[in-house]
A and B are shown apart, each in its own frame.
Chain A
């Protein structure tokens, strides 16, 4: 059973389009994240949700809008895609936001969604 899953695995689209990436975790975790990994393999936090509520919103263009319908799902919608949005997007989850902030919980990552904007 996959603990953290993402769909789609690959996404190729034209500039200006709107697209969504979905994430689901079956670990029973309360906290979920979106990270972006650029072409130099550098992973950076974008958003964090705890029990469907936004707790981290890093400096990300407002074309990116996360949505958490329930604590097992965190989707990422991107409007008006730009060339610079091409990257690998990883979803992650951890048990509990408070314990995670103390470094006491591990973040588990999904397989990634490879987005290419042409």
Chain B
């Protein structure tokens, strides 16, 4: 069965304290791995898509990387406005149609 596991569940950082969020996946075949950001009371907002091992994408203080078994979302010198829940999702070969399989997310809190 296809699975996505994110760790840690919650992460507290001081402003400027860099860290990484992990997303490990078990799928029969990966079509794409997606990172979303979700603010309280809002819908998930798309950040990145990664397709193959070794690929990296960057956006401001965020950098996503992909290996054959996991993805990391690196946050460099975070600011309080980076506080949110970060969701990882995969599009798998054997999934019906277009369904994304989501992990349970990592809730990041950045304090000043």
Contacts and interface: CB of A to CB of B under 8 A. Distances in A.
Given A101-B91, A103-B32, A103-B49, A42 B98 contact: no
Interface of B: 30-32, 34, 36, 38, 41-46, 49, 51, 85, 87, 89, 91, 95-100, 102, 104-105
Contact of A106 (B38, B41, B49, B51): B49
Interface residues of A, number: 30
Interface string A31-42: 101000000111
Contact of A101 (B43, B44, B97, B105): B97
Contact of A55 (B97, B100, B102): B97
Given A31-B98, A109-B44, A42 B104 contact: yes
Contacts of B43: 4, 90, 92, 109-112
Given A103-B32, A108-B46, A109-B44, A97 B98 contact: yes
A58 B30 CA distance: 20
B99 A45 contact: yes
Contacts of A110: 43
Contacts of A55: 96-98
A41 B85 contact: yes
A78 B98 CA distance: 23
Nearest to A90: B43
A43 interface: yes
Nearest to A9: B41
A68 interface: no
A108 B43 CA distance: 9
Nearest to B33: A103
A50 B96 CA distance: 13
